[in-house]
Structure formats: C-alpha cells, structure tokens
Amino acid sequence: MYYKLMVWLLCIVGIFNYSTACSQTQACPANVNFATGDLSFWSAKTGLLNGASQNFPAPNSGVSTIQEYNISTNGIKVITSSSTDPFGKFPTIPTINGYSYNYSVQLGSTATSYDLRANIPNPGGFSRSITYNINVPAGSTSEPYTMTYAYAMVLENGTHNSNEQPMFKATLSVSGNVIDCASPKYYLPTLDNATNNNGGNGSGTGATLDTAKALANGFYLSDLPFLSHAGTQNNAGTLLYDVWTKGWTEVTFDLAPYRGQQVNLTFEADNCLPGAHFAYAYVALRNTCAGLEISGNTKACANVTTTYSVPALAGATYSWTVPQGWTINSGSNTNIIKVTPGTTSGNISVREVNGCADLKDVFPVSVTPPTVAGQVLSNSSVCTGTNTTQLALNGSVGNILKWLYSTDGNQWNAISNTGTNYTAQNLTSTTMYKAIVQNGSECNVDTSKAASIIVDPKSVGGTLSPDNTNICIGQTSNSKFQLKGNTGGVANWQQSFDQLNWTNFLPVKTDSTFNTNRISSDIYYRVIVKSGVCPADTSSVASVHLLNAEFPSVAINPDSVFICYGKTAPLNVTINKGASYTWSPAGTLTNQGNGNISSLPFHIQATASPISTTNYILTVYNNGCPNALIDTFHVNVAPRVQVFAGNDTMIVANQPLQLNATINNPSAYQFTWSPAMGLSSTTVQNPIATLNSSIEAGSITYIVRATNAIGCYSEDNISVKVFKTGPEIFVPSGFTPNGDTHNDVIRPILVGIKQLNFFRIYNRWGQLIFSTSEGGKGWDGRVSGQEQPTGNFVYMVQGIDYTGRIISKKGNVVLIR
C-alpha cells in the first residue's frame, strides 16, 4: 500500500509529466468485475468435454445468462444479488475479511450429460467457461499490475481418478502459451485407484476419495443429498451424500511482466470426464489492479485476536511483519494470519513470492485499548412500591452500548441507556443491573459486574391466634399464642394492661409463638413485624382474661418409656388439683380409673399394653376452669422379634445336621440354643448338631432364643427325629386324599438325604402324572385339577444321602377314596 501511494503521488505532482499514462497503467479492464450486471467484454463457451461446443464471442453486451449445451438449464449466470448456495451454505457474492465484492458469476449447474436424453450413456461431461482478453497497459514492469479473484466450488465426487474428476480451473495465457504459475486447477483428489471398467473408453470408476487431502484443501462434505445419475434418463437412482464444497478463497496474480501485451484469462467449470457427475463454481473479481492489498481492520484492539489477509498467490511463499509487541498466532508463511495486537500502533507488511510475481504491501494499523466493562455500583435494599436508587458504572473503558436488568439472573432485558448513571425507580421485586461496554468496533463487547437492588415486601403484622382467651389461676400450659399471616420477621413482642400503653418484652423475643404463664390480671399482647428496610407493622391484638378458678395440677411418671413388643408399661399419675379426667386411647389401658377424682391428691397406677408405639393422652379438668390440662405419656414399642428355628426334620444317627435360625428383621442379635446335647456351639446362629442312636425316644427338640441389644427376645423350637438305620427314602404304601387333612398327600420321607433328585408318579399306562425335586412336596391325587379314582400307581424316587451316595427306589402306592 505504501508503494502504491508513492506511485500515485508521483503521478499527481507530474514528476514524470504523464499523469494520464499513470492512471492507465493501474486501471482495471472494463467490466472485469461484472459491474454492468452482464458479460460485457467477456466471451463465453459451453459444450461437452468429449464432443461439440458452442461459442459466444465478446462483447456479449446485455447477456447475463447462457444456457448449458443443448438443454434449457443456465450454465453461466451473472449474479448481482447475493443468496445462499444450497450445498455449501456460503453466500453467492462474498465479503472476505472486510472487502466486499458486489458481483459474481456462476459457472455450471447440477445438470449432467444425462439431461441431454441421449442414447449413449457417456457423451462427456458439460464444460462452461468465460474468457477476458486483457490488454495489459504499457509501463514499467517493476510496477505491479494485479488481478485478484475469489472462487467457491461445488463438486460431486465421481469416484474417478483425479484427472477425470469434476473440476474448476483458472487459466492465464499469453500468445497461446499457458502461464503455469498463475493457472491452478481445483478438484476432489482421489488415490487414482480406479480401473478401466467402462467399455474401453478410457474412463474408470471406483477410485477412493483422498478424504484427508480433500479436507486439508478446504473441502467439506455437504449435508444436502443429491440424486445419483446412474439410472437411465435421470429417473432411476438413489440419494447420495457425495457433494463436496469449498467456500470463498481469494487468489491474485501479477501481469506486470506482460506490459503492453494481451493476456487471456479463462475461468472454467467441468463436469467429470465421463459425464454423470456435476461441477459448478462461483467467481468474483476485484476492480483494483494497482498491486497487492492487505485486507483487515485499520484499527486493532490490544490483546484481541484479529485476522489480516492477502489474496493467495499460487505456489507462493509469504513473509509477514507486525509491529513490536504483536504476536502472529497462525504462522507467517500463509496468506491469512491471525495476530494478537500489543499496545503499540504501527505497520503490518507482507511479501508474497512465486515464479510469476513478487508482491508487497504495507498496512498502517492503530491500536485501541481493550474493553474494560467495570462494575455497577452499588448493591442496596429498598421497600417495594415508591423507591429510588441511583446506580453508577465504575471503572469501565469504552462506550456503554446499553444497560440490562433481570429479576431472576437468567432472563435479561435491555434498557436504552448509554450513560454511566441509571436511576432505578418504583421496583416491586429484587432486580439486578449491569452494563454492556465496547471500546470501539474492533474490541470485544464485555459485560460489567452486576449490582443487586433487593426489594423487601411491605411489612404485614399478621394475626395473633387465639385472639381472645381465658386463663385460669396458675395455668402454665395450653396457653400458647401463634402469629400467623405475617410478612417480615418478628422484631419483638409487646404487652399492655389497657391497650394504650405498650411495653416491649425484655429480653427481646423474636419467635412467632409465646406461652403466657401465671398472670395476675387481664392482659393484652401484640407483635411488631418488620420486613427488611420497610417500616414496621403490628399484628392484631390478643386479649387474655384471668378467671378466678385454679388450673389443674398433675405429676406423671414416667413421661416416656421404651418397651419390647408384647410387654407392658406402668403409667403413674398424681393429680394435685382437679375434679375429673379422661384417657385417650383407653383400649389398651388397665387400672386407669373411672374418671372421677374422689380426693386430692389422687393417684392412678395404670398399665399400658400397646402393640405399637402409642401416645396416651391424659386430660384433667377442674371445677370453674374451662381449660383442661393435657399431658402425654409416650410409649415407644420396639418392633416384634420373630425367630424361626427351622422345620422339623429327620436324620440318621451320626449324620451332621446344620441348624440355622432366621430373624424377621436384620439387626444385632445374641443366640442361645438348648439343650446343648450334640451341638457344636450353643451361642451362634447356625450350630451343627451331631446325634447318635443313644437319644432317648429317638428324637430331640432344640429351643433357640434370639435377643437384641435392648433385651427384646423371641423363642422357637425344632424337633429332630433320629433313625438308627442308615440313610433311606421311605414311601408310604397308600394315601387317602379325602380332604380331612390326614394322609391327604403321598410324599417321600427323606432320612439322611441331603438332596432329592426326583419323586415321580405314573398311572397304570405308564404316563407321568406328577414330578417334583423339592423335599416335603408330594402328590394330592389330582391330575390337571381332576381327582383320580381309587387305584394303584407306580412311584420312582431318587436322592443323594449326606455321604454322597445315590439312593433309588420304586414301587406301588394305592390311592383310596
């Protein structure tokens, strides 16, 4: 930029005395940027890559669209109003790092050669191009004459080798010779692994897309599907996600070496070479040809990342310099850099060099201090309704864009105030305020710390309940006053004997209940309530009338007791003053009396037998006093302890028997077994019993007691019958299932058997009608719910004794009705 400025100044002052020539040497060709809205001075061409074409020579004045070859779809179109590309989601006219293009041209469409409705499957892909014959102004070859264009592409992946893929290319030529360093081609790269499988015409499919390289080259897979044209006449195919796009990219080249010559510039978009995959591109040109220009903001914000760029030069190297104290974050050998400015203003410079050009530019940038949002002062409290609070933003750097307020900290609403002060008025709920600050458009927007205005609701004194009550002489209970319906906290209670002169409680009382005790005359009470900073309010007045009658007097022992389930608790009462009494509940009480007090003091020794935790309420009345004394005995009953020693069983002599007591609720228990005969231990939950044939009567009964930590216990027993034989399975010879609960089920008797493998019953035709492997289970004489008649049945039984031996038996059993 500095160099271009000097050239312009030299031309103005006439040092070389040919100012007209100076302007000509830097002026761009007419309508090179499509500013006339058409293709004026551009020539165009459409056709097939492997076939015929049609030419549209310049000047093409007034021509803004040209159709694809032999079909009615636009193949070339000048764009004067920006929209959004459906595949790439980028604008059809770009703005790149602050530079706005005003026009562009679209080359190509989604049409393929199948749209020709030809009988041959691959007549060749569509090709479209536009060309400008640039007459480079004469002048010094050391003075840059640049052309800068931006392009964006939409390419369908054809899965062909790279040389047959859809593409976009720019070609610069002089006298028919292509300037290679300024003539790039852009296509989707593949691994070139497709084979010739298309009838020998030189084109193959199945190439693998080099996805990593495509992404590295700036391509992105579109999320919009496209209909595959593998079917005939475009009507039999499937939706594929195979369209890749590349957003706007700037490119530049220098024509200074060709001063006084004609250079041909061509932009071309080609479908795949076989013809069934589309390509289209957008091209926009700058209308400045005076050399390299850095794009970016001339004002930078200290410590805020900023982007600067120049149009890319094909195959070029780049060298950037920035002011002292600045940092280049993205590396300097690229056409686009991201920098973090320091606090010093200065120049940004760049040099880009390739085999065709050596371009430079200098870009002055001034630095702005970063935004400092500051803090809104200050937090305060007000009373709802009429209120005013002055707020001020302190310590900010930058312009105040607006203020915000919120009543919940989540939803913020704008206030159109750009000053450092704001007056909040007449608030009815707690509100927070903060400011949005920005120190110029180049700096970030920031939000200040908020201030909160706490809005207290108005004080409401509420109501004292009961509002009117009678108190007997000596009454010390059942005289509670409760404050209800208040807004705000209790500041203190007051009392008065005439409702005119009120005195505060000392010490101060701040809870919402009060028990009046042993008053000597009528008295009144009220409560002072205060909500935050709001003025205090007083509650309604409660009046207390002293009756000339004594309040009952009672002593109870104990007031609370803990008992085990099934046990009783004594309830001892001494009534010193009173005439009658009642109990509730009375159903589980004994010796509670009849409710009449014959003389004072009066003693009651009741016994409670609850099965669950119960409150026994004693209510005592005295003559002349309408207020009853109510007292409560709390009897806490522990959960019931239930121990199960196990089912009665049978063993053979010297067979170890595992005993195991179970409890209805988990807890820490102490176990005691008796008698100790044959037990491995008498104090564990699961002892082992080993009994020999010397047991009298051939059986023994063990009793187990389980006692918990508070002394509650339960007992159960288990009977063990000892057989002097070896392990055996006995099956009765008959049974009588007549419903009298005696001998109704036929089941095996297991002696010394640790596992029953099966017990089976068969009818006289050999059909299995019952089977079980669970000890203690048997057949009840029914089949599918139907009672079987008297008759003979066959049983088979098998088990494993405690030594591991298998015992099998079979025989007959008689069912008798």
Express each pLDDT in 705-749 by its tens digit: 999 988 899 999 999 998 888 899 999 999 999 888 788 999 999
The answer to whether position 600 is within a domain reads yes
Whether residues 223 and 125 fall in one domain: yes
The answer to whether position 541 is within a domain reads yes
Q: Which of 12-26, 696-710, 758-772 has the highest mean pLDDT?
A: 758-772
Q: What is the pLDDT of residues 432-490, one digit of tens each?
A: 999 999 999 999 999 999 999 999 999 999 999 999 999 999 888 888 999 999 999 99
Peptide bond into 656 cis (omega under 30): no
- pLDDT score, position 195: 82
Query: Given the structure tokens 């004459």, which residue do they identify?
Result: 145
Phi, psi of 247 (to 5 degrees): -75, -175
- pLDDT score, position 274: 84
The total number of structural domains in the chain stands at: 7
Would you give the DSSP letter of residue 36?
T
- pLDDT score, position 275: 84
Whether residues 225 and 275 fall in one domain: yes
Q: What is the pLDDT of residues 150-162, one digit of tens each?
A: 999 999 998 999 9
Query: Could you tell me the pLDDT band of residue 674, with boundaries at 50, 70 and 90?
Result: very high
What tokens does 397 get? 């750097």
The answer to whether position 597 is within a domain reads yes
Domain-ending residue, one of 723, 754, 784: 723
- pLDDT score, position 433: 98
Pair 247, 88: CB distance under 8 Å: yes
The answer to whether position 11 is within a domain reads no
Helix, strand, or coil (residue 109): strand
Instruction: In whole angstroms, give the CA distance from residue 76 to residue 567.
Output: 103
* Residue 174: alpha-carbon gap to chain centroid: 62
Whether residues 159 and 303 fall in one domain: no
Whether residues 522 and 591 fall in one domain: no
Phi, psi of 314 (to 5 degrees): -55, 125
Domain-ending residue, one of 456, 486, 512: 456
- pLDDT score, position 600: 94
Whether residues 130 and 273 fall in one domain: yes
The answer to whether position 607 is within a domain reads yes
Peptide bond into 585 cis (omega under 30): yes
Question: How many DSSP H helices and E strands does the chain contain?
Answer: 3, 68
pLDDT at 199 over 60: no
- pLDDT score, position 25: 62
Whether residues 151 and 272 fall in one domain: yes
Whether residues 530 and 656 fall in one domain: no
The answer to whether position 482 is within a domain reads yes
Q: What is the average per-residue pLDDT within 117-142? A: 85
pLDDT at 18 over 50: no
- pLDDT score, position 541: 97
CA atoms within 13 A on the CB side of 175: 3
pTM of the predicted model as reported, rounded to 2 decimal places: 0.56
pLDDT at 219 over 60: yes
The answer to whether position 258 is within a domain reads yes
Whether residues 134 and 69 fall in one domain: yes
- pLDDT score, position 239: 80
What tokens does 248 get? 């706007």
CATH of the domain at 390: 2.60.40.10
The answer to whether position 633 is within a domain reads no
Top-confidence residue, 664 or 542: 542
* Amino acid making up residue 528: I
Whether residues 618 and 696 fall in one domain: no
Pair 296, 308: CB distance under 8 Å: yes
Phi, psi of 202 (to 5 degrees): 90, 5
Pair 407, 429: CB distance under 8 Å: yes
What's the order of all strands across the beta sheet hosting 713-723?
649-652, 713-723, 699-708, 669-674
Top-confidence residue, 125 or 116: 125
Range of the domain at 504: 463-550
What tokens does 560 get? 């609370």
Nearest in space to 513 (alpha carbons), one of 531, 525, 497, 499: 525
Distances (CA, A) of 27 to 145, 150, 181, 363, 727: 9, 19, 23, 21, 119
pLDDT at 198 over 60: no
DSSP per residue, 433-446: EEEEEESSTTSPEE
Q: What is the average per-residue pLDDT within 181-199? A: 83
Mean pLDDT, the chain, whole residue set? 90
Please state, for a pLDDT cut of 70, what percent of the chain lies above it: 94
Pair 225, 241: CB distance under 8 Å: yes
Instruction: In whole angstroms, give the CA distance from residue 183 to residue 187.
Output: 14
Whether residues 272 and 320 fall in one domain: no
* Amino acid making up residue 763: N
pLDDT at 15 over 60: no
Helix, strand, or coil (residue 290): coil
pLDDT at 496 over 90: yes
End-to-end CA distance of the chain: 121
Instruction: In whole angstroms, give the CA distance from residue 572 to residue 199.
Output: 114
pLDDT at 6 over 50: no
Whether residues 279 and 155 fall in one domain: yes
Whether residues 390 and 536 fall in one domain: no
Domain-ending residue, one of 704, 723, 742: 723
pLDDT at 23 over 50: no
What tokens does 115 get? 């749209």
